[in-house]
Amino acid sequence: MSGMDLTVFIVDDDPAVRDALGLLLGVRGYRTAVFASGEALLQAWRPEWAGCLLIDIRMSGMDGLELQQRLGQLGNRIPIVIVTGHGDVTLARAAFKAQALDFLEKPFDDAKLVAAIDEAFSSEARQRRQTRAREDHRTQLRELTPREREVMELVVLGRHNREIAPALGISVRTVEVHKARLMAKLGVGNVADLVRIALQEE
């Protein structure tokens, strides 16, 4: 079932397909928005949209692969499910290379479509959680003192407390205090997580 703020964005140049997909998903509780072309979607595009994109790969004008590329240039992070009546290995490979989450060939099983959309919603939610976590970490990193940042940078390089102390001209105990404080500020309990957060900033 779709989340309250998630939408299935249907892009297909066949009005019968658009209507059928809208009805199929609507009766199952999904919120939908339909577009007759890639150009129409791009004209209406908003970066804050959330959910998944259901795109026909063969359309008049801009095809599904080109639309994927254009969306990528706009920084799209919404998962894409490709739907086509012309499925083949070459198209599937191209779609996945362009970061499509799934590839369904018409006529497709309704259950498979719903499963693909649910997986897309789950993937989108994971991406948003990861993005929020990275933003939180950037905020936390900005709160470190210059000395705490120096200690962190040496920890990331694999230096032990006894090596960090003379490098910074402080005692081992002082290194331990700075290290404990910076780890508390970042909300991490071990060096591995500290290194991961520090490397994400680079």
Report the pLDDT value the prediction gives residue 4, as an integer from 0 to 100. 47
d(CA 124, CA 51): 7
pLDDT surpasses 60 at 2: no
Which helix or strand (DSSP H or E) is residue 83 part of?
strand 80-84
pLDDT surpasses 80 at 3: no
DSSP letter, residue 77: -
pTM above threshold 0.85 = no
Q: Domains of the chain, with CATH numbers? A: 7-134 (3.40.50.2300), 143-201 (1.10.10.10)
pLDDT surpasses 60 at 6: yes
* Dihedral (Cα; 142, 145, 151, 156), 10-degree rounding: 0
Arithmetic mean of pLDDT, 40-53: 90
d(CA 11, CA 25): 14
Please say whether the beta carbons of 37 and 10 come within 8 A.
no
CA distances from 67 to 15, 47, 76, 79 (A): 18, 15, 11, 13
Query: What backbone phi and psi angles, to 5 degrees, belong to 41?
Result: -65, -45
Arithmetic mean of pLDDT, 166-181: 94
pLDDT surpasses 70 at 89: no
Q: How deeply is 36 buried, as exposed, middle or buried, from its count of CB atoms within 10 A (0-12, 13-18, 19+)? A: middle
Residue 10 pLDDT class (50, 70, 90 cuts): very high
pLDDT surpasses 80 at 150: yes
Is the model more confident about 193 or about 151? 151
Give the rounded percent of residues in the chain with a pLDDT score beyond 70: 93
pLDDT surpasses 60 at 75: yes
Two tokens, residue 74 = 């706009």
52 sits in the region (left: phi over 0; alpha: psi -120 to 50; else beta) called beta
Please say whether the beta carbons of 201 and 143 come within 8 A.
no
Arithmetic mean of pLDDT, 64-83: 86
Arithmetic mean of pLDDT, 27-44: 93
Please say whether the beta carbons of 60 and 13 come within 8 A.
yes
pLDDT tens digit string along 96-133?
Answer: 766 677 878 877 788 888 898 988 888 877 877 777 77
d(CA 73, CA 127): 18
